[in-house]
Every structure is written in C-alpha cells, then in structure tokens.
C-alpha cells in the first residue's frame, strides 16, 4: 500500500501517548526510512545485496518512481537525466518461490498448453491478497490488458464482506506482467521464483 507517511504520522501519535513503547519506536524508524526511500530513492544497496544472498530473500523497501512516466509501451523520462541516476525501484506485488525438485506441470484446456504450476500458484496467492485487503484492487483496474477483447472489471461490491474476484480476468491481466527469476545462488538453495508487479 506504500502509505509510509501516514504510518509515520500514526506512530508519532502513538509514541506521544506511550513514550516507553519500544516496538512503536522501531516501527517509526523503519517507516521513516521507507519515506526517505520513497521520496529520494536513497536505498541501502549494501543491505539489499546482503538480504538477496540469503535463502528466500524478502526486501523491506519502499517503491521509488523517479523522473519517469509509465505508459503502455514503456518508461519515458520526464526531464533530462544523468548517467547512473536511479529512475525506478520497485518490488513485486507478490512473489512465489518454487522448489526446482518439486516441479509439476498442468494442462490448460482453454489455451491447450502445458506449463509449470508457478503462475497458477502465484495467481492463487494474489487472489488471497486481494480478498484479504480490497484496497489493492484499484491498481488492478489501471493495468493494461493484453487484448481489447477481455471484458469485465473488478467489482467494488462486497459479498459477505469480501470482494468478488474474477479469476479469469485476473489470470488474463496477470500474463503480460509476470516475470521469472532464477536462483542466483547456484545449487546452494535450489529454488526459482516468479513474481508479479503492479508497475
């Protein structure tokens, strides 16, 4: 959700009310660091590299969008940029690690193609994330669709307090935005990953 400035404001109020709350102070420090990353693009790349070397890395960083504008056919600079300037840094909306040893294949009768189960499992995780937190749904509406023939939209209507997610629509939107990431550790950790980004 990337609402780190709101989190800083809330945590400051909490610390004023409960000055001895160490957990809130630690959260405030992390949220303040996320605000700086989000606004300036100042990342601790050494720490990020250290985290990436571990098994199943999970980055605790904010997204940064620099002097660029995203359009359907790519990124465009909004001003002159210099060599080495950070333009964009974003995490995947959802990520899935799959074991190379436990690889399965499924057959999609609609497309008549066989593929590994990674994208299918990833779409299940995304559905669960959307159901658990409907505030993530609006960015999905802005994503370009791979075909103009894809109809439908994500509804704002809640049924029994939960959003209704059109699985076929989600899967069709997911396909052009999915990316794969092989394990960078050789055979040491023996996994591969796939992710999906809203950017």
List, for residues 50-76, the tens digit of each pLDDT value: 887 777 778 889 988 888 887 666 678
Does residue 177 sit in the same domain as residue 99? yes
Q: Of 32, 56, 91, which one is at a domain's C-terminal end?
A: 91
End-to-end CA distance of the chain: 13
Does residue 75 sit in the same domain as residue 96? no
Q: Find the mean pLDDT for residues 87-101.
A: 76
Does residue 69 sit in the same domain as residue 146? no
Q: Find the mean pLDDT for residues 114-135.
A: 79
Q: Answer whether residue 108 shows pLDDT above 70.
A: no
Q: Of 67, 91, 115, which one is at a domain's C-terminal end?
A: 91
Does residue 80 sit in the same domain as residue 161? no
Does residue 120 sit in the same domain as residue 182? yes
Q: What are all long-range contacts of 180-188, with beta carbons under 8 Å and residues at least 24 apart?
A: 180/118, 183/100, 184/52, 185/53, 185/55
Q: Find the mean pLDDT for residues 27-35.
A: 95
Task: State pTM to two decimals.
Answer: 0.70
pLDDT at 4: 92
pLDDT above 70 as % of the chain: 72
Q: Of 46, 61, 91, which one is at a domain's C-terminal end?
A: 91
pLDDT above 90 as % of the chain: 22
pLDDT at 43: 93
Does residue 56 sit in the same domain as residue 116? no
In order of 87, 111, 163, 167, the CA distances from 97 in angstroms are 27, 25, 26, 21
Q: Which domain range does residue 107 map to? A: 92-199
pLDDT at 120: 75
Does residue 65 sit in the same domain as residue 98? no
Does residue 96 sit in the same domain as residue 81? no
> What is the count of structural domains for the chain?
2
Does residue 102 sit in the same domain as residue 195? yes
pLDDT at 150: 62
pLDDT at 184: 61
Does residue 168 sit in the same domain as residue 108? yes
Does residue 70 sit in the same domain as residue 97? no
In order of 104, 110, 111, 113, 180, the CA distances from 107 in angstroms are 10, 9, 9, 6, 19
pLDDT at 174: 78
Report residue 7 as tokens: 């989190």
pLDDT at 116: 67
Q: Answer whether residue 154 shows pLDDT above 90.
A: no
Q: Answer whether residue 189 shows pLDDT above 60.
A: no
Q: Answer whether residue 178 shows pLDDT above 80.
A: no
As beta bridge partners, residue 180 has: 194
Q: Find the mean pLDDT for residues 79-107.
A: 77
Does residue 74 sit in the same domain as residue 37? yes
Q: Find the mean pLDDT for residues 167-182.
A: 75
């Amino acid at each position: 959700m990337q609402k780190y400035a709101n989190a800083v404001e809330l945590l400051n109020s909490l610390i004023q009310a409960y000055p001895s709350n160490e957990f809130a102070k630690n959260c405030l420090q992390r949220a303040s660091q996320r605000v700086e990353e989000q606004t300036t693009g100042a990342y601790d790349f050494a720490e990020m590299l250290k985290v990436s070397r571990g098994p199943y890395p999970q980055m605790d960083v904010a997204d940064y969008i620099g002097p660029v504008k995203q359009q359907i056919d790519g990124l465009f600079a909004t001003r002159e940029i210099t060599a080495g300037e950070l333009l964009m840094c974003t995490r995947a909306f959802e990520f899935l690690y799959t074991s190379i040893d436990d690889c399965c294949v499924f057959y999609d009768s609609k497309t008549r193609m066989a593929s590994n189960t990674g994208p299918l499992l990833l779409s299940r995780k995304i559905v669960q994330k959307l159901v658990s937190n409907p505030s993530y749904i609006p960015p999905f509406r802005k994503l370009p669709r791979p075909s103009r023939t894809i109809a439908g939209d994500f509804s704002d209507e809640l049924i029994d307090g939960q959003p209704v997610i059109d699985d076929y629509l989600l899967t069709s939107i997911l396909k052009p935005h999915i990316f794969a990431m092989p394990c960078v550790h050789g055979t040491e950790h023996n996994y591969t990953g796939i992710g999906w980004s809203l950017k």
